[in-house]
Every structure is written in C-alpha cells, then in structure tokens.
Amino acid sequence: MNAESARPPAVAGTFYPGSADELRRDVKAYLEAAPAVQVDGEVVGIMVPHAGYRYSAAVAASGYKALAGVQADTAIIIGHDANAAGIVAVLSAAAAFETPLGPVAVDTDLVAALARAHPGIIVRSQVHRREHSVEVQLPFLQTLLPACRIVPILFGEPTAANCRLLADALAKNAGSRRLLFIASTDLCHYPADTAAVGLVKETMACVERMDVAALFTYLAETRQRRAADHVQTAMCGSGGVGTALIYAQTRGATSVRVLQMANSGALPGGDKDRVVGYAAAVITVTPAAPAPDPSAAAPQDSPFSVAPEVRKELLTLARQRLTAAARREPFSYEPPAAMAAALTPRAAVFVTLHKGGRLRGCIGMTEPRMELWRAVQEMALAASSKDPRFAAVSVAELADLHIEISVLSPLTAVANAAAIVPRRHGVVVRRGARSGLFLPQVWEQLPDQERFLSVLCSEKAGLPETAWQDPDTQLLVFTVFAFEEP
C-alpha cells in the first residue's frame, strides 16, 4: 500500500488483520510455529507466497524463518507479473509504504537509479495502489528487519531476458547496499488439489535447478498443456523469482533450498476442486573461504595434472551435459571405475564456451566444493544456460560450440600487483561483498597488466578501475590446468 494515498481496503483487514495488535500477534505466531531453518552460506533472498494470511502465511513464515541473523539495508520485493509487453519492471514513487504496524521507508535513491538504468523500468505509483503482492510481505519484514528499507517492484513482461536486465540494473546500482531479494509469488491457479501437488513439485524443481530459461519454458508449456485442468498459470510472480535467481548467480556459487510446499485445498474447509499452490524457498551463496596469508608465496605451477584419457572423458561429459540441457533431455553420469581415482578428488573448475571464436558462456567456482567430474558437469550446464550475459544455448548452436575446461589451483593472497605474473596467474579481486575473477587465458586479450586489472575491477567486480591499487582491495592469484576440445 502506497503511503501517498489512503489504504486500499482490499488488503489490510482482508489479506491480513487490520488491527496492529492482532497483526503483530499473528505474524509472531506464524514465525514461532515455523520450523527452524539451518542455512549454510549467505542468504541472498527468499521466495514466499502472497495470498491471504489464512491461506499462505504459514508457508511464508518458513521462508522468513531463514532470515534469522540476516543483515540487509534494502529489501527488493518483487510481486505479481503485470504481463505488460515491453515493460521490464514497474516501480513506485512513494516515499514509504504503510501497514497497520507503521510505515516502511522506500529506498528512493535506488528507485531513481533503477528508473534511469533502462527505459523499460518505469515508475507508475497508481499500479501499486491496486496491488497486494508487495504489501502482504511487509508485516513479516517489519517484524524481522524493522530498519530495512524496500524497493517495491511489480514485474512487467516476464521473460528471462527482462529478468537479466533487472538483475543487472540492481547489481550495477546497489553501491555498498546489502540487498535482500523477496520474490513474492503464488504457484498454480486453479487446478484441483490432486493436479496441484504435481504442478507445485515440477515448478519448484525448475527453481531448485536455478535454470531461469527452463522455468519460463515450463511455465509457457504448462499454460497450454494443462488448460484442461483449469491451470491459468503455474507461477504468478515468475519475473521476481527469475530476477532473484539471476542476481544470485552473479554473486557466485549459489543454491536454492525448498522449505515448504502446500496448496489452499489442504486447509480445513478448503475447496479441493479449485486451489492455489504455495511454496517457500531460500536462495544462498556459499561463503568464500578465509583469505590465505598474504605473506605466503604465490603459486609457481599448477598442482593439478590431468591425464590425456581423463581430459577426453571430462570434455565428453561436458559436451553430453550441455547437449542434454539444450534438448531438454534427462541426464545422468557415473564415473568409469577405471577413472574413479582421477575423477573424484575435489577441484575448482571453470567451463568456458566459445562460438565462432567469441565467448558464449563461462561459469565456474573458485573453491573445490565438489568432485572433479561433478564440478565439470555442473559448470558445463551453468555455462550453457545460467550465464546471465547470454541466453541459454540452443540445439542449433551445439555444433558450433567449442568447450574449454580450466582446473584451478588454490587461491593465494598477494601483497600487491607486483607479485602477479602475467600469462601465468589468474587473478581474483575482492572488496567487501564485491569480487571478480579473470582466468589466465584473459591475458591473451588484455596483455597489459594495468589494463588487465582495471577491467577486472570495473567490469567483473563492479569496483572503480583503480581499486586494485587500493590497500583495502584484496588480490588473490591462482594457476590453471586448462584443456579444450580439438
């Protein structure tokens, strides 16, 4: 609800209690009843439903329970898809939104910056005055993070490309803010209870995989395939979910954990013939390992050695995985017993795709969190479908793709740029929550060290070009064992 106008009567007193005391008691009761959530890593955002509290607040509370201990300056709350062609997002000019618990300040500087970032990001306060999907989240936020400001958003035309545009605009204009994403969405409308259970599981499987392109394809196909089941949509806030997932991917290695799934037909007296699905999930980023001692010597040679037959196996695995993804086919892999010793040690891996000599996707990890074969499999999938700079690889492109796999040594901190060896070292820059990485292969395009580090800071980490010269910026180096398709 927009603080510039009278409260819309359809929200307070209907979606949730209109009395401040009753609302406060209800929110606390929902949170106390929700199971504790053990979160591994940093919480980037949550996905929660936005129906009337009687129907969905118990599920929403599961998502909000994951925010225990979270610190955030601004919550990006993205509600309903407006399905407005050509529009990326709809913002509000209000200085605050208000609930019976009081006003919630809007981060007006970030709203203004977003409105300048792209012509498809527009300000239409009157649209928000008719909407509930942002406001119903506020009492939970006021209870858990009372000092947090908000950016209220209704999504425009829900496409993967528009999600990338909004995620990029938020990343470029966040500054030093600690952002928290709240994707406000219900799931399937309005199948029978029996059909809803499967639809909710299928939808959340796409979310768990963090495959935004696959999610939108699934939603479009479901509208056609399940029309006879009275399915109007499988997710009414898909733009917010897609934006949160893509933003999280730009932060590094991420995961989605589904906390609860339900539907309105399961409630006492609920209509089992016409239900709405609900789910709560938390999106996290794996924390970076503690920085090594800067006085330690920089690595001179890669500690990894990959035998020719193992390289061939990994390149074949990467090719098969991204091919299955492009064709939307199931995929499974078990390492050959004869290669288990070489494929199962944990390793940090990047997979890079080129098409016609130009970059077509690159995703990786800087810490050895999974087995070598699994890391190659997952990074191949991510490079082909989750790099926010590119659309997912299509079947038509498969024959033109060239795959390169890079296995990284452990990161080692260095005192300054003088310790970086061009063409040998890959480099990571870190300052606060921002970081960026260049593989050693990038020296081929940027052979001048000063230019290499300036572009790394500005284009990969979102820092000033000269940040690498600042003592507050951490420099880390690594070496790579790289191999590629013939």
Q: What does the DSSP assignment read for 26-84? A: HHHHHHHHSPP----SEEEEEEE--S-HHHHHHHHHHHHHTTTT---SEEEEEEEE---
pLDDT at 295 over 70: no
How many angstroms from the chain centroid is the CA of residue 70?
17
174 and 298, same domain (yes or no):
no
Q: Rounded distance, CA 80 to CA 49, Å?
A: 11
pLDDT computed for residue 298 by the predictor: 43
Helix-strand-coil percent breakdown of the chain, rounded to 5? 40, 25, 35
Domain span at 413: 290-303+409-486
298: CATH: 3.30.1490.150
Q: What is the pLDDT of residues 96-116, one digit of tens each?
A: 999 999 999 999 999 999 999
Dihedral over Cα of 205, 208, 214, 219: its sign: positive
Q: What's the mean pLDDT when you consider all of the chain?
A: 88
348 and 429, same domain (yes or no):
no
pLDDT at 44 over 90: yes
pLDDT computed for residue 7 by the predictor: 40
368 and 485, same domain (yes or no):
no
343 and 375, same domain (yes or no):
yes
CB 461 within 8 A of CB 455: no
Answer yes or no: is 13 within a domain.
no
Answer yes or no: is 73 within a domain.
yes
Strands (E) in 95-239, as ranges, are 96-99, 102-105, 121-123, 149-155, 179-184
Q: Rounded distance, CA 397 to CA 383, Å?
A: 14
Range of weakest confidence among 4-8, 195-199, 218-222, 399-403: 4-8
294 and 314, same domain (yes or no):
no
Q: Rounded distance, CA 386 to CA 245, Å?
A: 9
Average pLDDT over residues 402-417: 88
pLDDT computed for residue 439 by the predictor: 86
Residue where a domain stops, chosen among 354, 381, 405: 405
Calculate what percentage of the chain has a pLDDT beyond 90. 64
Token digits of residue 45: 């955002």
367: CATH: 3.30.700.20
pLDDT computed for residue 134 by the predictor: 96
Number of structural domains (the chain) is 3
Answer yes or no: is 463 within a domain.
yes
Answer yes or no: is 262 within a domain.
yes
pLDDT computed for residue 103 by the predictor: 94
265 and 373, same domain (yes or no):
no
Answer yes or no: is 477 within a domain.
yes
CB 361 within 8 A of CB 393: yes
219 and 279, same domain (yes or no):
yes
431 and 371, same domain (yes or no):
no
Residues in Cβ contact with 124 at an 8 Å cutoff, skipping those fewer than 6 apart: 90, 91, 92
Q: Rounded distance, CA 335 to CA 228, Å?
A: 43
Question: How confident is residue 297, by pLDDT bands cut at 50, 70 and 90?
Answer: very low
Answer yes or no: is 71 within a domain.
yes
Answer yes or no: is 98 within a domain.
yes
Query: Is the pTM here over 0.95, yes or no?
Result: no
pLDDT computed for residue 377 by the predictor: 95
Range of weakest confidence among 115-119, 156-160, 227-231: 227-231
Answer yes or no: is 5 within a domain.
no
SS3 171: helix
353 and 440, same domain (yes or no):
no
- Cβ-in-10-Å burial (0-12, 13-18, 19+) of 86 comes to exposed
Q: What is the pLDDT of residues 196-251, one digit of tens each?
A: 999 999 999 989 988 888 899 989 888 877 766 788 899 999 999 999 999 988 77
44 and 187, same domain (yes or no):
yes
Question: 286-319 as b/e, with b when 16 or more CB fall inside 10 Å?
Answer: bebeeeeeeeeebbeebebebeeebbebbbebbe
94: CATH: 3.40.830.10
